[in-house]
């Protein structure tokens, strides 16, 4: 019997098929996430870092990703109200 998603694992071959399916599914999900949310490695200059640190903090939206988003949107004149 060949393993199918949603079915219990019954044998070593079912387990191997499940592991292969699980790995392929995780890789596909990761590719979809990376298409939607591209990763950007960024090392700010000292001046940019100082601006980021003033705007960062221990509050919702105070993480570096949110600070960078706000700064980019503000520079583009598209800061949400």
Tens of pLDDT along 13-72?
878 888 999 999 999 999 999 999 888 888 999 999 999 999 999 999 899 999 999 888
The model's pTM? 0.53
Distance, in Å, from the CA atom of 47 to the CA atom of 54, rounded to the nearest integer, reads 11
- Inform me whether the pLDDT recorded for 3 exceeds 70: no
pLDDT of residue 8: 75
With vertex at residue 25, the alpha carbon angle to CA 5 and CA 22, rounded to the nearest 5 degrees, is 60
pLDDT at 22: 93
Query: CA-to-CA distance for 69 and 25, rounded, in angstroms?
Result: 30
Which residues have CB under 8 Å from 22's CB, separation 6+? Answer: none
Residue 79: the pLDDT is 62
Alpha carbons 61 and 58: distance in angstroms, whole number: 8
Domain boundaries defined on the chain: 11-39, 46-75
């Amino acid at each position: 019997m060949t393993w199918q998603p949603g079915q219990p694992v019954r044998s070593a071959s079912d387990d191997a098929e499940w592991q292969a399916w699980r790995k392929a599914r995780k890789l596909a999900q990761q590719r979809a996430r990376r298409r939607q949310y591209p990763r950007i490695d960024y090392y700010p200059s000292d001046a940019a870092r100082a601006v980021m640190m003033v705007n960062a903090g221990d509050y919702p939206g105070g993480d570096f990703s949110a600070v960078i988003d706000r700064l980019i949107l503000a520079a583009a004149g598209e800061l949400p109200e």
